[in-house]
Structure 1
């Protein structure tokens, strides 16, 4: 059943071209906007508090990524989440580097608590830290494997009524009803900055068309990353090939490649 839902969600994104509001970090704005365009969605990198209420009235979803956090960004983020709540829109939270500093951990928890409809997309270390366990974190890179974060993810599902996507060598999508395991992707993917942030942005596109688990985005990026890596000499060409493969991905290749359990 999952495979059919993923394929339908991909078609829906391409047909509806949802607008996704991204309050994301300076490092990945270009990557994530290009990925959203390649999959068929419409990105907007709106950061001004003066326009966020208006934006969230007609956007499909809100992506909050705390990668380059500071005192100016935090109030914008919380305001945007309030506007998403007011307009019954889903919030996708990427708690980048949660656990690396108190600021990141506290801000992530505040945003998670505030959002009425929430998907959390993070690596294992960030999930563990967000749940309040001792995570091994080296800046924004995970030192924990994704299966070690399953209990923490289940806690977050219960605590925030969220869906949780743990990304890593193996991806897990944890909801109230199920745990789905995805074994796609490639070992070269972590060598491109913002690969997780790209997954978060894509999660926003799928959420905007009603796919509220995060599964479709994780499936699509895993498959596309795998295909792109096969023709890439290194991280530079992987970045280019990934965008091409997102654009070219069809239902048949997705269905054939998907390793889901």
Structure 2
């Protein structure tokens, strides 16, 4: 897999097929999520009204649930959209933002996992550890799991929920409950910008829309790609504000420039 030709093929198929990604996501990063989806060639839609969820999901190629700005009515909408996605056998991605920071968020994330067939769970180490009831250290969303074996956290969560799990951080870990992949790279500035994880969620959903029969490879490819995006964005800017904009520019640039991709991955070998 060192040449990453398979990732290039996924990106090419995204541009050709233009899959519609239905986001039920938080309003803090909705615009960034939409723009990075467009940047790689997929189409975003953010439909939240229950009366149209059936129609929108019927057109979608993947559905992303993100609990970042959680309200009770949105939980109901996520359950409805998720059930439509399950009925259509669409990839259903959960981003349990802030799980563990409050009982409400933790309960909501677990409720979605219990009532829906989630295909991919993407979250930071604290969020994923919370889903498998591991203790944490620290306060709120800045907490970290007491167990620092993030590869094992990904593996155990994947086993428990029978889903692909992507644990994000300085290093990402992707597991199907059996195999675990470790992905390095990216930029330290990614931790200084709100919504980087949410943007990755959009990329995961876009990759999953194309590779619905191999969600492990879709998640792994999305992680590798976004790490490369972060690296290029940092080369273009060293400050958080401009770095945020450059994430979207860099996603567009390397998704549409095979030579740029080749150069990046040659440096990483």
Counterpart selection for 1:246 from 251, 256, 263 = 251
Q: How does 1:1-261 map to 2 (within 5 A)?
A: 1=1, 3-136=4-137, 138-141=139-142, 143-144=144-145, 148-210=149-211, 212-213=215-216, 214-249=219-254, 250-258=257-265
Aligned length: 261
Q: Secondary structure at the match of 1:140?
A: helix
Going from structure 1 to structure 2, the CA distance change for 1:123 and 1:19 (only over 3 Å counts) comes to same
Q: Secondary structure at the match of 1:188?
A: helix
Tell me how far apart the structure 2 counterparts of residues 83 and 21 of structure 1 sit (CA, whole Å).
Answer: 12
* CA drift at 1:94: 0.4
Write the distance in 1 (CA, Å) between the matches of 2:17 and 2:262: 21
Structure 1 distance, partners of 2:153, 2:48, is 31
Report the CA distance shift for 1:88/1:200 in structure 2 as closer, same or farther (over 3 A): same
User: Under a length normalisation based on structure 1, what TM-score does the superposition of the two structures give?
Assistant: 0.93
**Match of 2:215, SS?**
coil
In structure 1, the residue corresponding to 2:28 is in which secondary structure? coil
Q: Distance in 2 between matches of 1:16 and 1:181?
A: 29
After TM superposition, the structure 1 stretch with the greater mean CA deviation from structure 2, 112-121 or 166-175, is 112-121
Tell me which moved more, 89-98 or 113-122.
113-122
Moved segments of 4+, more than 6 Å: none
Describe the SS at the equivalent of 1:233.
coil
CA distance in 1, matches of 2:147, 2:38: 28
Query: Structure 2 CA distance, aligned partners of 1:155 and 1:134?
Result: 14
Residue-by-residue CA offset, 1:141-186 (whole Å, 9 max, x unaligned)? 3535995332222122112210011110011111144211111101
Q: CA deviation at 1:252?
A: 3.6
1: CA distance, partners of 2:205 / 2:113? 15
- After TM superposition, give the deviation of residue 233 of structure 1 in Å: 3.1
TM-superposed CA distance for 1:31, in Å, is 0.8
Q: CA deviation at 1:5?
A: 2.3
Assess if the C-alpha contact under 8 Å between 2:157 and 2:177 holds in 1. Answer: no
Structure 2: 5+ residue stretches without partners: none
Deviation digits for residues 220-242 of structure 1 (CA, Å, limit 9, x no counterpart): 11101111111203011101111
Whole-angstrom distance in 1 between the partners of 2:146 and 2:185: 15
Deviation at 1:260, TM superposition (A): 8.1
> Relative to 1, partners in 2 of residues 1:230 and 1:142: Cα closer, same or farther, differing over 3 Å?
farther
CA contact (8 A) 2:155 2:180 kept: no
- Alignment root-mean-square deviation, CA: 2.0
Task: Provide structure 1 residue ranges, at least 5 long, that are not aligned to the other structure.
Answer: none
Change (3 A) 1:141 1:5: farther
